Structure 1
Amino acid sequence: MRQFLKKTLWAALLTAAFALTATGCGEQDKNSTDTSAGTTAQTQVPAENNAATEAGNSAETNVFSYQMNDDGTVSITGYSGIETALNVPATVDGYVVSAIDNHAFEANWDITSVTLPNGLAAIGEGAFMDCGSLTTVTIPETVSRIDRAAFAGCSMLTAISLPETVSVVMEEAFTGCGSLTDLTIANSALEYDRWGIIEGAEPLNVTITCPSGSAIESWAAANGIATQALS
């Protein structure tokens, strides 16, 4: 009888010991799983951030084509995006955008407005020619030159302001801009050179805002075009 009780007691002790060991291993496995999951989550976050950054760079390059200039800046040569209110970037792929190249946006009927970036120096020949839906253009105070027919055929263009830095506007810049009613010219020395404001015998129905005593004010007065003083 005693022998039987001893065997029963030993069996019970062994069963309890096994149960405790199994429980400890289960907790250890759970901790290991939790730790592993935490490590995986931490490594995924930078990967997502990198993907977003790469996507942003790729979009910028794919939407705006460009060519390198001798000074290390770039000229925008084309646009393949879908934005209608267009903001041209100040940099593309890390390069400063210094010019809009000849005919870069020509005949893009989707664009309704354009904001050009600080640092831009020149708008090329026919750059926005025949952009028939374009109504407004914002030109920064870094642009010095607007080449021939840059906005020719922009029949819906209603207003444009040329900052004081603009010292050259070439012929036919506004030819075919029949809706242009508000033209601001801040450079008192800038002279009119067949811009297309007078087509045939009649001038456009435009009011030119300019400095008092400026070259443009004198030209406008001589050609029956309304002016108002630039404040």
Structure 2
Amino acid sequence: MNKKEIKGFIRLLAKARPDAKTELNYSSPYTLLVSVVLSAQATDISVNKATNKLFKIASTPEAMVALGEEKLVPFINSIGLWRAKSRNVIALSKQLIENYNGQVPQTREALEALPGVGRKTANVVLSVAFDQPAMAVDTHIFRIGNRTGLAPGKTPLDVEKNLVTNIPRELIAKSHHWLILHGRYCCKAKKPECWHCPVVQICHYQDKNISPF
């Protein structure tokens, strides 16, 4: 897409979902960070079900460390990869206490140094918690970037760079939500629902599915 098309694409997504936001439940940068770590290869619904109980007991790094890995496990063992995630949540909580006075750092480099935190997780936290112009590319955004022509790339990093370069800086953080929700509920992996897509006229996808039947 050219820059005019990209601007129109984002504007129409914004109009369709003006109040778009993360579907993870959180109350602080720390609880958001934990939720995003837990959400790897898991649904937001499953994470929220676990954290709704967990965060009543442990919503700070100090409380999480005091809970400990053994007592954390029953809260999250319904989520995929829960063994590794339980270790990482306790370990990152300890590092936040030791290195950042219990606060979540606001740079990608510092976040990625925490156990269980990769670039995508760091970008989510920067975007959602701190309103920084970071673009977390998950499977939905990677698919949309390539399928529609919005931001083609062979890797998530390629797509991320294209999006950050071409979307107006002040809209990047919000675009993260517009794109994820569009991929989750409209531009689906197996059968995109083009018949109710707000950007169907701009999208470059060649095999549009224009019928719900």
TM-score normalized by structure 2?
0.21
Between Structure 1 and Structure 2, whose CA radius of gyration is higher? Answer: 1
Q: Which has the higher helix share?
A: 2
Q: Which has the higher strand share?
A: 1
Greater RCO, CA 8 A, separation 6+: 2
TM-score normalized by structure 1?
0.20
